[in-house]
Amino acid sequence: MSESYIDPYKYQHSYADELADLVTPIKPTVIYQPHLQVVNHALWEALGLPIQWQDNDTFMQQLFGSESLLTQHSVAQKYGGHQFGHWNPQLGDGRGLLLCEIVDNQGQRQDLHLKGAGPTPYSRHADGRAVLRSTIREYLASEALFHLGIPTSRALCLISSNEPVYREQQEKAAMLIRTAPSHLRFGHFEYFYHDREPGVAADIATPKLQQLMDYTLAYHFPQCVDCQNPHLAMLTQIIADTARLIAHWQVVGFNHGVMNTDNMSIHGITFDYGPYAFFDDFEPHYVCNKSDHQGRYRFSQQPSIGLWNLNALAQAFRPFVTTEDITDALDTFEPILVEHYHHLMLKRFGLTETTDTALAMMTLFMKLLQSPKRDYHISFRQLAGHLDWDSLTLLRNEYVDIGLFDEWLAAFKAEVALQEVDFTTLQSRISLANPHTVLRNHHAQAVIEAAEQGDFSLFHAYLEILKNPFDATTKIDRFAAPPSIGDKGIALSCSS
């Protein structure tokens, strides 16, 4: 078979076909002077997409042509969501379109979703565009988290343009195609649960909710179909996946910023990147979203918000699962999150056993990072690269509270001895668990400013570093260095 052959059956549209009552068919709106600026070649290959589509003119024909495989059945999805704790049924794909679904080289189903596609019926009088700034930030963050081993949607490609859009100021529009197992959000289930005729009991499934549940079980949770209660099994899996995801965030110091239920994926992946941030100094109550005036989505609040959101989602399961079973399922969230958090955090110290003494040692170190606040990522990375305990002990000179450092170090040494880990193995484990480089907002801003002037060289340089976060041998020091005092703790708005 010719390498240029394109199999039309690879591009499926099960959501658009089987849930036609839940979507609006619509094509992307042509953007002014589009350019296929960035391609995620590794992901492109893993998805088995045609290499010839990486030609700019060919790709634009696929995006905007009348009979293209990518967009001939594109749809905007309808959903609702709790935004900052308040129910809003007037949501949906206001600037994004589900293009199609494909099966990747591993046999896994993946959505292709176009962000910045133009107006849809759910745009609420907005232009339906994304700006270059936000697409760059999503591309960088999704790849950074992926290469840190954190579940996430991923960026397939970025399309720049010369179309002006207006936010706080005039900017350039851009598009992003991202992939995910699906784009089903907590808000999908909430909307089709609450969208019922007056007087219909809460434990009765609406026809559309029934359709959505059946589809989700068949395509995304087939392992639950033969369980005694498939819906309970699915809810339990969503709870567990969400708990493990948020544990990952807490370990790496990632603040999502806008954990509305319409930004939460049923697959337990990081989804809908807005004013996110990895904090710089260890700040448990860090708020990266300057629009979050009450600090609802601050870093320390993410676990409890995750559970709050799962409670909101669980309401949609009331027609299928008893209240007692829902409560029991939700009660698993905290122990799963805590167990996973402890496991991941102790890996950063080169330890594998979650003992009481190990947890006490970990608590001492976190206390050490707060007195006064220290750069979170560098402090952990400094535990690597030592030849012996004497070398590691020299770190005490960098801490203000030397007494507390000595107390922590004694506890650390005792735990390492208790778990019978030799120093060389310990150092190897620490190096593999603590990234040399994480995504920092001040670097992202420098990348954006260069790209807005047409220079993407800094974008590519930073991206390559983020794709190898644990490798200290190929680093550019400027990307690993901490920010200046003035650049620390940058907070961003939701404007995109």
Cα dihedral sign, 326-328-329-332: positive
Across 271-288, b (16+ Cβ under 10 Å) vs e yields: bbbbbbbbbbbbbeebbb
- CA–CA dist 269, 244 (Å, integer): 10
Inter-axis angle of helices 186-194 and 302-314, nearest 10: 40
DSSP labels, 61-125: HHHH-TT-TTTTT-EEEEEEEEETTEEEEEEE-SSEEEEEEEE-TTS-EEEEEEET----TTSTT
Amino acid at 247: A
On whether the CB atoms of residues 414 and 357 are closer than 8 A, the answer is yes
Please identify which of the residues 262, 281, 292, 375 carries the catalytic annotation: 262
Q: Quote the tokens at residue 44.
A: 């492109």
Q: Where are the alpha helices (DSSP H) in 97-229?
A: 132-147, 186-194, 207-220
Residues forming a β-bridge with 115? 96, 176
40: left (phi over 0), alpha (psi -120 to 50) or beta: beta
To the query of whether residue 262 is one of the catalytic residues in this protein, the response is yes
Q: Where are the alpha helices (DSSP H) in 266-398?
A: 302-314, 323-330, 333-347, 356-369, 376-381, 389-393
145 exposure class (CB count in 10 Å sphere: 0-12, 13-18, 19+): buried
Which run of H or E residues covers position 446?
A: helix 441-452
**Residue 349 per-residue DSSP state:** T
**Residue 363 per-residue DSSP state:** H
Q: Quote the tokens at residue 196.
A: 């019922």
Residues in the chain: 496
- CA–CA dist 209, 393 (Å, integer): 59
Phi, psi for residue 77 in degrees, rounded to 5: -95, 145
Residues identified as active-site = 262
